Amino acid sequence: MDKQIAQVKIHPAIGIARVGNSSNEPFIGPESPDQPALPPGSYKDSSGKVIRQAARFRVYGYNKAGEVVRELKLGEEGVTEIKWSVHLANKKAAWYQFHIPLDIPEATGLQDAQRRRRNFDITGAARKKLINDPGIQTIHASKHETATFAGKIMDLPVPLGSASTQNDGRLLVVGGVGKSASFARPEKPISGVANNDTWYDDVSDGPVTAEVTIGGATKTASPAWVVVGPPHYAPGVKTVRTLYDLLHDVFVTEQTLPVEPEVSYPDHIEPLLTRFCDLQWVNHGFATQFGWSGPHHFRDPAMRKRLADPGKASRELRRQVYVQMRDYARDGMSPLPWPWLYGDAMSSRPNSVRQHITLSAAQDRMLALWADGHFTSGPPRTGHPNVDQAPPAEQPDLLDRAALENCAADAFHPGCEVTWPMRHKTMYSEPFRILHRTAENPERDYGDVLSLQDALGKNGPLFAQGPGDLTRWMAAPWQCDTASCRSGYEVRAGLGPRYSPYLPTFWPAQMPNHVLKKADFTTVNTKPSGGSDDSAREKAFENRAVWLRGLTGTDFNVQRRQMIDDWYKFGIVETHEYTVGDGKFPKYIQVESDPGYPPAPDDANLINIHVPEAGVPQLAAAAGVWTGSIPAESVEADLVQQAVQEVKEATGRDEAAIAAGYLEKLDPLHGTQ
């Protein structure tokens, strides 16, 4: 192989950092799709604060044929300098409202008021103060420099993080501290999930560039991007359709990446099926069906033997698993097909096949081939848990994939880290590499209302990107969306015998719904004494507590406001080893770390009720047109409390188990559909 360096590229192409409020040294995010989660205690410090996740970037040298030669490290093989530049920004407060993705047919039903600017009452030059842009920061690896992103919004200091290098020249980008607040005094009340005017947070995103001096010559690297998102509260769990799956499908469809030439059970099918099983640690509905000893526990050795067999004897089993997957043309709005995850057009009054998600086209194609017996078998994949021990030629792809596999591409409603624009090929210069906006091509002003024509049109927001452009679509602030990532949303009329508070669900891999408490794990992991039976251990293993049980009261907006302050107090789902050794429970069990809030009932906030009539005063107040003699907040609170009482009577549950309110994310067209 030609070992002459002809070009250099940064990897991962998109790096993911996450906010945290601990002063401890940040940990580095996953760098291989095969890398296990960190040991218990790695994600929070001794005081219960969340440790930040850093995004680490490297530079690789390629030859003229596009083959990877090696990683370029400072001080090795002629590399004398790596000059890094990073530009973080947060543009949420200055961007447009989010209700549903603008690239789906349902978006034509949005009213102009739903596509107008956030903080619309701030006009003219003052709107520039809504953008938190500390500017580009450049550091030299040879000098071990550190740069800080000392941003501000409406003249209030809001730091976005820092950048530094390691001894080998690799770049570390660390994000904000999870600080969200209102710049208004007194603060403006929280009014919903995604569009809370005057409120800001310290997530961010932006370009990462590098120049490498090697052998006396300086080469400009193909650039990368960094996204600073919320914490991953279940770092050992990946969702069924990850951001990597979604983007890989985009590039395969556009023929910039090849179709997998051969389907492998351990490489392609098993990782997908076992994600259903791993959701048992974050959702009780998935635990019942796909968890340990469940009817579709794909990790069971006997089940695996059948699923990995391409012969005729297992063909009907494979086919039945495949046909369970959702097909919009066949299933319509039914919640029954897999996966049991809400979709882009989720509404309390379902009117779209996009009420739930499907697998990606590439995932579906491989499953279809597997079901028909066209695949290779083999032992479970071990891969490369440590990217540095992988062959250099494989490292760039592992880095790119690991970052994105730990991000969600469930419902873009709006999402967790990034949202719907990511599925558009015009956003990229090459697979996984964001197209950077240049200073010579500034983004134009789309006006007070973002029209669908502008949103989807040529040279609009789906083309070249600038600092803050990926996260500007996300919820403002992010904690309000996190507090709304729940399961089993329903209106009062739907509380019949077929109602489940566990399914379907929003993003459980990122923001859990129901978790195994540490106290229950202690019971499970204690060997029974004498001749006692295992009923207590079995009961403890089956028990799940609502992850958001620490939110108090019954009103959604009150709970969202609490989440802004208390986001770090919620447990991180961590991987523990089952050490009794009798094989009665899984070898590895994922367990919620001790929460930082006062003890709460396990079923607190289990039932989540949408109250459409409470939207009338809320929406009117948000639009500044409420004319009632009683404050809109009081009218809304009375309607919510009335709904809670009705749900108590209908379900027999205590008030603590019920959360209610108007959710605009469940009414994206504001009652017009």
pLDDT digits (tens, 9 = 90+) for 130-184: 999 999 999 999 999 999 999 999 999 999 999 999 999 999 999 999 999 999 9
Q: Indicate the domain borders of the chain.
A: 7-257+386-476, 265-372, 482-516+546-571+597-661
> What average pLDDT does the segment 353-378 reach?
97
Answer whether 225's CB lies under 8 Å from 564's CB.
Answer: no
**β-strands 224-229, 14-18 pairing:** parallel
> What average pLDDT does the segment 218-228 reach?
98
How far, in Å, are 92, 229, 421, 471 from residue 96 at the CA level?
8, 19, 14, 12
Buried b (16+ CB within 10 A) or exposed e, 559-578: bbbbbbebbbbbbbbbbbeb
Residues 6+ apart with CB under 8 A from 143: none
Interval 77-126: pLDDT, tens = 999 999 999 999 999 999 999 999 999 999 999 999 999 999 999 999 99
> What average pLDDT does the segment 501-512 reach?
96
Give me the pLDDT at residue 671, please.
55
**pLDDT band at 673; cut points 50, 70, 90:** very low
What does the DSSP 8-state code read for residue 127? G
Sign of CA dihedral 555, 638, 501, 418: negative
Instruction: Give the residue from 100, 415, 90 showing the smallest Cα distance to 246.
Output: 415
Interval 614-671: pLDDT, tens = 888 877 777 677 888 888 888 888 898 999 999 998 888 999 999 998 888 788 876 5
Two tokens, residue 249:
């499908």
Instruction: Give the residue from 605, 100, 636 showing the smallest Cα distance to 347.
Output: 100
Q: Considering the chain, what is the average pLDDT of its residues? A: 95
Amino acid at 63: N
**pLDDT band at 249; cut points 50, 70, 90:** very high
Whether residue 12 is preceded by a cis peptide bond, meaning omega within 30 degrees of 0, is: yes
Cα–Cα dist 289/304, whole Å: 16
Give me the pLDDT at residue 529, please.
84
| 626 DSSP β-pair partners | none
> What average pLDDT does the segment 399-417 reach?
96
- Does the pTM surpass 0.75? The reply is yes
| 62 DSSP β-pair partners | 7, 68
**pLDDT band at 436; cut points 50, 70, 90:** very high
How far, in Å, are 105, 288, 350, 499, 608 from residue 601 at the CA level?
42, 21, 31, 21, 16
Give me the pLDDT at residue 519, please.
98
Give me the pLDDT at residue 615, please.
80
Interval 104-118: pLDDT, tens = 999 999 999 999 999
